[in-house]
Structure 1
Amino acid sequence: MKSEVLFVGGRSGVGKSSVAFELHAQLTALKVKHCVIEGDNLDLAFPQPWEHNLAERNLAAIWANYRALGYRRMIYTNTVSVRFTQELAAAMGDSPRITAVLLTADDETASARLLRRTQGSDLREHLDRNNAAARELELLTPRWVHRCPTDNRVVQDIAADLLRLTGWATN
Structure 2
Amino acid sequence: MDQAEALLIGGRAGVGKTTVGWEVSAMLRAAAVRHCVIEGDYLGQAHPAPEGDPRRSGITERNLTAVWSNYTELGYRRLIYTNTVSVLPETAGMFQRALGQDVRLVRVLLTASDTTTEVRLTSREVGSELETELSSSYRKARLLDEHAPRDTVRVATDGRSVVDIAKDVVAATGWL
Q: Which runs of 4+ in 1 moved over 6 A?
A: none
| Alpha-carbon offset, residue 142 of structure 1 | 1.7
Q: CA deviation at 1:94?
A: 5.0
- TM-superposed deviation, 1:115: 0.8
| Higher deviation after alignment, 62-71 or 130-139 | 130-139
TM-score normalised per structure 1? 0.93
Give secondary structure in 2 for the equivalent of 1:81.
coil
Taking structure 1 as reference, are residues 35 and 51 closer, same or farther at Cα in structure 2, changes over 3 Å only?
A: closer
> How many pairs align?
169
Contact 1:89 1:95 in 2 (8 A): no
Question: Which residues of structure 2 form unaligned runs of 5+?
Answer: none
Q: Taking every aligned residue pair, what percent have the same amino acid on both sides?
A: 49
Structure-2 change in CA distance of 1:89 and 1:126 (3 Å): closer
Looking at structure 2, the residues matched to 121 and 61 of structure 1 have their Cα atoms a distance apart, in angstroms, of: 32
Residues 121/53 of structure 1: CA separation in 2 closer, same or farther (3 Å cut): closer
State the alpha-carbon separation in 2 of the partners of residues 20 and 85 from structure 1: 18
91, 95, 101: which is aligned to 1:89? 95
Q: How does 1:1-171 map to 2 (within 5 A)?
A: 1=1, 2-49=3-50, 50=55, 53-83=58-88, 84-90=90-96, 91-169=98-176
- 1:70-119 CA deviation, whole Å, 9 max, x = no partner? 00100000001001441232121252111001111000001100111102
Gaps of 5+ in 1: none
For 1:151-170, what per-residue CA distance to the aligned partner results, in whole angstroms no more than 9, with x for missing partners?
0111101111111111111x
Is the Cα contact below 8 Å between 1:37 and 1:75 reproduced in 2?
Answer: yes
2:44·2:57 contact (CA, 8 Å) conserved in 1?
A: no
The Cα offsets for residues 7-61 of structure 1, whole Å up to 9 and x where unpaired, read as: 0000111100000110111111111100000000111111124356111111111
Amino acid at match of 1:134: A
